[in-house]
Structure formats: C-alpha cells, structure tokens
Chains A and B, each alone.
Chain A
Amino acid sequence: MGTGRHRIFWDRAIRWLSAFAILCILAILAILIGIISYNGWGKLSWEFLTAAPTNGMTSGGIFPAIFGTVALVLLMSIFVAPAGVFVAIYFSEYANRNSWFYYISRQAVNNLAGVPSIVFGLFGLGFFVQFVGKGIDRTFNGGELAYGQPALIWAALTMAVLTLPVVVVSVEEALQSVPRSYREASYALGSTKSQAVFRVVLPHAMPGVLTGSVLAVSRAAGEVAPILFVGAAYFLPHIPTRLTDQFMHLGYHVFIMSTQSPDVDATKPLLYSTVFVLLALTFILNAVAVLIRARMRVAQRSV
C-alpha cells in the first residue's frame, strides 16, 4: 500500500485524471455545438427555410429537404408507434419472464438496436424495394414499374424497422411505471386482462408512447445510411406528393453538400446552416422527450 504520502498522491491523481477525462468530453461537446452554431447562425433566415436549393446548392434554401424529412418521419411514426406499443405490451404485461420465447424476443430487440444502419439500407433495398415492391408491381400493376423502385414509403418502412427498439424500450419503461394497484383495481371491478391493459394501463403510459415516438423521429431525422438506396434523392425539382415518389432528406442533403458540391467555398455557409437546422431539430426533439418523461415521473410520484 506504500507510505501515506504516496497513497494520498495516487488518490488525488486518479480523481484529477478522471475529472480531466470528463472535462475533455464536455469540451468536445462545447466545441462541436459552438462551431456549428457560430457558423450556422449567419445564413439562417426565413427564406433559407422556405426556398429550394438553387445554382447547384451554392445558393437558395433547404425547404424540400425539410419537407422530405418531415414526410418521412411522420409516415414512419404511423408504422412504428403501433408496432412498438404491441411489442412493449407483450414484454410488460403478457410475457412469462422465464419462458424461452420471452428471452429470444428480448434478445431480438436488443440485437436489432445494434444492427449497423447501412445493413438496414441493404435490407430495405433487398426486402421492401426488390421483394415487396416488385411483388406488388407484378401482381397488381401487370409488371409496370411503380412500387418496385426507391420510394418514400419504402424509406419510411426501413426507418420504422430501425427505430422499433427505441419505441419498444420507451413504451415498456412507461408501462412498467404504472402502479400495480391500477391493474388490481381494474380487475376488482371485474375487467378482463385486455380491458385492464388497454383501458387503464395503456392510457396512463401514453406519455411513454409519445416519448418513444419523439425519440424515434429524432433518430430517423438524422440517419442517412439506411435511406441511401431506398428513396433519398440528390435533388428534386418538386416536393414529393405520392408514396412512390423519391424525396430529399436533411441528413442526406448535408452529406451531398459536404462531398459533392461543385463549389466548396460557396456551399460552406449554407452547409453550416443546414447542419445547424438538423442538429437543432434533433436536440429539440430530444429535449421534448426528456420533458415528457420528467413530467410523467412527477405525475407518477404524486399518485
């Protein structure tokens, strides 16, 4: 153990080193946010948010990308929210926690959360576009190409698959925090299990459903790799109006502007502003999720 002075020295050294590590991480965060906000603030204007890109992305705005992102995440939520709720209800209310089926489906959700996003892109192309889309075309359109190509609907479904674990975890947490006495009171009044779940427990877990959906939306707004091959477009003259249209996406737009701009110096200010908008969007969504969750906890505590 060494002498007393040595021991005090090491005690201090380890405390300071670990404090230094966390300071480094906080500094990285501050630098990231600082640089992006400082450079991104300049070009930000109402016009930037409502105009289309012009002159090969060296001027104009990002409205089509914002519109495409919003359309994508709304459509995705329609698919992922109910699916996530049902899986979470199984985990929280119906599953026998010692059964093999519970174990395997739990592992599947955990693993799904760790699948690389580019693999979801391949899956979207191989399954939704080539298999489902082509299948629809063959069966209903007489082989005419409509669904068997990259489209908004396939991108939304791919994103829904990717964000399913986010919703499941969040909803399950909310279901678990509904006090047991609520379920018992409901049974005491003669309700069946499904009535207790859907009329008593689930309504109280609604903030969790909302939190999960918001987190999923925030994730989907920033993911680019999964939609590279299933519907995101480089540039479109019109905003998408049908499910089979391609669309522009904020994250993809950032990627395109950073790597394929014809004039880097002219694009840079716009690029910073686009990144700023994307980052602000994800952070606001995350903050909303945190607030809903905090309010839910307070409400539960007061019961």
Chain B
Amino acid sequence: MDLLNRGISWRSARDWMIARFIRVSAWLSIAIMFLILVFIAKEALPLFYEPDAMAEVGWSRLFLPQNYGTPDAPLKYSWHPVSVEPKYSLMPLLLGTLKVTVIAMIFSIPLALAAAIFTAEFASKWGREILKPIVEMLAGFPSVVLGFFALIVLASWIQDLFNFDFRLNAIVAGVALSLAVIPIIYTVCEDALSAVPRKLREASWALGATRAETTMRIVLPAAMPGIFAGIVLGFGRAIGETMIVLMASGNAAITSWSFTDSTRTLPATIAAELAEVVFGSAHYRVLFFLGLLLFLITFVLNSTGSWVISRLKSKLSGES
C-alpha cells in the first residue's frame, strides 16, 4: 500500500511538472515578440539620447525638410546617408513605401476579392476544392523568385509596353508585390464569404433574388468585416515585403509623387544598406529605427486584422 501511494504521488508530481513546463513554453511566442521589440529598440533609440547621434540625426532631420548648402537654398527632403553631409530624411522612403503599396493594393484587391467571390459563391463544390489550393500555391512562391521574375521578365514587358523613363519603377515593383498579396487577401476573403450561413442565401433566393443579387447585397455585407481584415493583412504584408521591392523598384531614394520614377521603400533600404554600415554609427541606428517603425506598423495592422476576424467568427457562428 505504501509503495503504491508513493508511486501515485511520484506520477502526479511528474504530471504537475510537465504541465508547468508546457505552460512555461507557451511563454515562448510572447517572449519572442517582446525580445524583437526590445532588441530593435535597443539599437535604434540611442539615436534620440546619444549626443553624437543626436548631432547627426535628430527628430527634425528625420521628418522635416532641411536646408542643405547655401542659406537661401530651398528646403528639401533628402536621404543620402553616405555623403560628406549625411542626410537622413525619411520622407522619400515613406513616400516610396506608400506608392509601391498603393499600386500593389490597386491590383490585388479587385482581383483577389472577385476570385474569392467566384470560389465561394459560383464555383461548384468540386471546383472550389481544386481552385483554392491552386490559388494558394501563389503564396508558396519565395519572394526572391517573384523579385527575380519582376526584375528579369516583368520589367522588360512593362518597358516594351509603356516605355517609362526608368525600367525599374514603382509600378513594376507594385505589380510584382501584388502577386505576393493576392493569396493573402484571397484566402481571408474566401474564408469570410463561405462562413456566411447558407440560410441567409436561401432566404434571399426564396424572395426571388438572383445569385449575383444575393452575393452583392446579402453575402458581401455580411462578410464585410472579414474582407476588411483580408485587406488589412494584405496591406501589412505589402508594407513589409523586402526582396521583391529591393529587386524591382530601382532603389532610388527620390522624393517624387510619380509612379513611374524609380523608388525606394523602408524594408529595401534596410536590406540594401545595413551590410555596409559601421556598427553603432548614426546610420546603423537610423536603419534599426526604420525596422522599429516597420515592426510597429505591421503589429498594429495584424492585430487589427486578427481581432476583426475573431469577432466575425464568433458573430457568424452565433447566428447559424
């Protein structure tokens, strides 16, 4: 009896220890997110309190137009970290990121949403099971392959068709980027559309609405939060994508609203310049600051997206 008792208590002690261990390991993902924030901020933030870095950079130089050269020269936004007088204005990079992202969204939202509508609403059950994995194959393309395709093939096509001043420009990069964004928007929208309870559709049909009327006036409004979430998640991916833009945008940091100019984005700047900077220099810290910005922007976008999706899920599952 004594032996048996000891056996049981040893077993339950071990069980308790394993449960503890599992619980502790669940901290892993939280710890990683925290460490990413801390270690990027640690390299970036001395920018705002170290005297040397402050003399070279500072808030106003990052965000306000500056006077370079003669006193009466026009104020300019300029990113030239490697020059006699280093210039660190983030405006050309932010504008470049915005331009490329907007083009990617203009191409990907209509295509992905319409394709999701077809898959969820008009395709047969059999067609749906084939279409979805095929479109999602696009998500399996490594971004360096899409970048390669944009650089070698797509840029030449666009050059032949439109003959822009620069072979590599925001349009080429944006179109290539849309290939990476399409599968994200498609998957999230398709899930949202097919999660709309069938009885809503049946009620609409019974009232004499056509299939398309049902889709546009009943199913789409019901799935709207999910579609919004898909767009937000796609936007987050587009802002953070590095290799495609690095290879296809031409990488000139010029402040211009023109979509046909060569363009440089935040992630591409980090990728192109970090390998050559002096460790601990102001330039090095500015690049980590760009990374911090990217991390925070995508964090907000992704949190919003997944919050909307989880709310929609509980709402729709409550209804049916």
Contact = CB atoms under 8 A, between A and B. Distances in A.
B203 interface: no
Given A26-B134, A224-B144, A108 B236 contact: no
Given A95-B26, A225-B271, A258-B247, A10 B212 contact: yes
Given A108-B29, A222-B144, A116 B303 contact: no
B147 interface: yes
A108 B30 contact: yes
Interface residues of A, number: 89
Interface in B1-50: 11-12, 14-15, 18-19, 21-23, 25-30, 32-33, 35-36, 39-40, 42-43
A116 B148 contact: no
Contacts of A161: 32
A271 B144 CA distance: 12
Contacts of A290: 133
A278 B142 contact: yes
A131 B26 contact: no
A288 B267 CA distance: 32
Highest count of chain A CB atoms <10 Å: which of B15, B142, B147 = B142
Q: How large is the interface on B (under 10, 10 to 19, 20 to 34, 35 or more residues)?
A: 35 or more
Interface string A137-166: 000000000000000000000000100110
B28 A258 contact: no
Given A105-B27, A105-B30, A108-B32, A251 B144 contact: yes
Interface string B79-113: 00000000000000000000000000000001111
Interface of A: 1, 7-8, 10-15, 17-22, 24-26, 28-29, 32, 35-36, 83, 86-87, 89-91, 93-95, 101, 104-105, 107-123, 125-127, 130-131, 161, 164-165, 168, 192-195, 198, 218, 221-225, 228-229, 251-252, 254-255, 258-259, 268, 271, 275, 278-279, 282-283, 286, 290
Given A15-B212, A93-B22, A126-B43, 5 more contacts: A95-B26, A105-B27, A114-B299, A121-B274, A122-B43
Interface of B: 11-12, 14-15, 18-19, 21-23, 25-30, 32-33, 35-36, 39-40, 42-43, 110-115, 117-119, 121-122, 131, 133-135, 137-138, 140-145, 147-149, 151-153, 179, 182, 186, 210-213, 215-216, 233, 236-237, 239-243, 246-247, 267, 270-271, 274-275, 287-288, 291, 294-295, 298-299, 301-303, 305-306
